[in-house]
Amino acid sequence: MSDALFENLFAALEAAPDQHDLRLQVARMLLERGRAEEAAEHASIVLRARPSDTAALELLTAAASGAATPVAAPEAAEEDEFDWSRAEHDLGSDVPPPFVTDGEKVGQGDAAPEPVLDIETEVVVLDDVGGLDSVKQRLNEAFLDPMRHPEIAQAFGTSLRGGLVLYGPPGCGKTFIARAIAGELGVRFLTASIADVLGPYQGESERNLQRLFAAARELAPAVLFLDEIDGLGAKRSGIGGGFSGMRAVVNQLLIELDSVGSDNDGLFVLAATNQPWEVDAALLRPGRFDRMLLVVPPDAPARAAIVQKAFARRPIAGIDVEAIVARTEGFSGADLTHLVEASAQKALTRSLGDGQVRPIDMNDVAAALGEIRPSTIGWLQSARNVVEFANADGRYDELAAYLRARRIR
């Protein structure tokens, strides 16, 4: 069987990940061709969704033992022959034609592609963000309430111009909160990354940035979210002398932000960064990214919500969420998800040894906790230096208060 067929099957599963019967067929085919590790991975995915699936467990056991031939599937197709009729029935209309790829602009021919601008369709609001009540309150006061009531804000001389920078340790949900802001405002959520802007040729990055903002304005009202703004808007003083393409990108970003402030209603520009102190000072002036919000590591209610969601649809027994929350102070959302995945891996190892599915228990969690440390500690230590030596204008007062509360000095 050709690699091309497997590529098509993997693409089909990526487009329709819940088609577990098809995934089992693919796992069998992989095992028959000696690709046991890949077969085990697909069988594990099915087991997480359907813990009592005996066929998936048999496949996983066969893959782990290095067996060349798995247990035969009911109504299996002949050797080296794939049952396309069954696959089409399983998938229905969920999979696009194979010649249309994600992000492709059909009908453009050889014309230069437009910059990528992802449009999120799932709507989330602040109530979907577990815990972090203090962050939500500051977000409402500094950004959302004036946007919801522009006539009152203008009566008090408060400008609605400018954007918002979300900053804090990595993995703490800055992107999710940005999506929630769009949901609260009832507008589209548009995202762009550094890879969507930077190009290899002189002037290409500036043109990409200009086209990206133009496309976003056409979709207004909308929130345009720029992740890793310290990459697009790095301090020009830290960029090498002479001509620099990155200097030009920062200059173009300044132009676009000024244009948004003066000419466009309904386009709200948000940004996120782990290192706000690396962002060019001109980007943080009034009318540009003139508001900053610290997104701290999840508090106890937020950790509980993250852990419960991560355990959902996994076989568990005797999991004490409160005990986990008590032992994960300072963990980021990404750390907590990793903790649950590591616990699941330990339960999977036990299941393979016993030949039957063993649920995740607190012993698995305790073992995983012994191996994982909060990733936010290093960031907070670095931030302490910024607060101590680079906060003359009070920009990081919120961060200073958080560090004092955590007794990080």
**Residue that wins the pLDDT comparison between 325 and 162:** 325
CA pair distance 339, 369, nearest whole angstrom: 7
Tokens, residue 193: 């990354």
CA pair distance 235, 253, nearest whole angstrom: 13
Does the pLDDT of residue 155 top 80, yes or no?
Answer: no
Tell me the per-residue pLDDT of 62-99, one tens digit each, with 9 for 90 and over: 777 665 444 444 444 444 455 555 555 555 444 444 44
Model pLDDT, residue 153: 65
Burial 32-53 (b: 16+ CB within 10 A, else e): eeebbebbbebbbbbbbeebeb
Specify the pTM: 0.67
Q: Which residues contact 43 (CB under 8 A, 6 or more apart)?
A: 24, 27, 56, 57, 59, 60, 63
Beta-strand pair 222-226/291-294? unpaired
CA pair distance 275, 168, nearest whole angstrom: 8
Tell me the per-residue pLDDT of 268-285, one tens digit each, with 9 for 90 and over: 899 999 999 999 999 988
Does the pLDDT of residue 263 top 80, yes or no?
Answer: no
Query: Helix or strand or coil: residue 208?
Result: helix
**Residue found under tokens 């087991």:** 47
CA pair distance 191, 196, nearest whole angstrom: 10
Model pLDDT, residue 295: 92
Which H, E and C letters describe 209-240, residue by residue? HHHHHHHHHHCCCEEEEECCHHHHCECHHHCC
Does the pLDDT of residue 106 top 70, yes or no?
Answer: no
**Residue found under tokens 């990940």:** 17
Tell me the per-residue pLDDT of 26-66, one tens digit each, with 9 for 90 and over: 888 888 888 888 888 888 888 777 877 778 777 777 777 66
Burial 355-390 (b: 16+ CB within 10 A, else e): eebbbbbbebbeebbeeeebbbeebbeebbebbeee
Q: What is the CATH number of domain 3-91?
A: 1.25.40
Residue 179's region, left for phi above 0, alpha for psi from -120 to 50, else beta, is: alpha
> What topology does CATH give the domain 118-294?
Rossmann fold (3.40.50)
Please state the domain extents for the chain: 3-91, 118-294, 300-369, 376-405
Model pLDDT, residue 318: 94
User: For domain 300-369, which CATH number applies: 1.10.3720.10, 1.10.1660.10, 2.60.40.1120, 1.10.8.60?
Assistant: 1.10.8.60
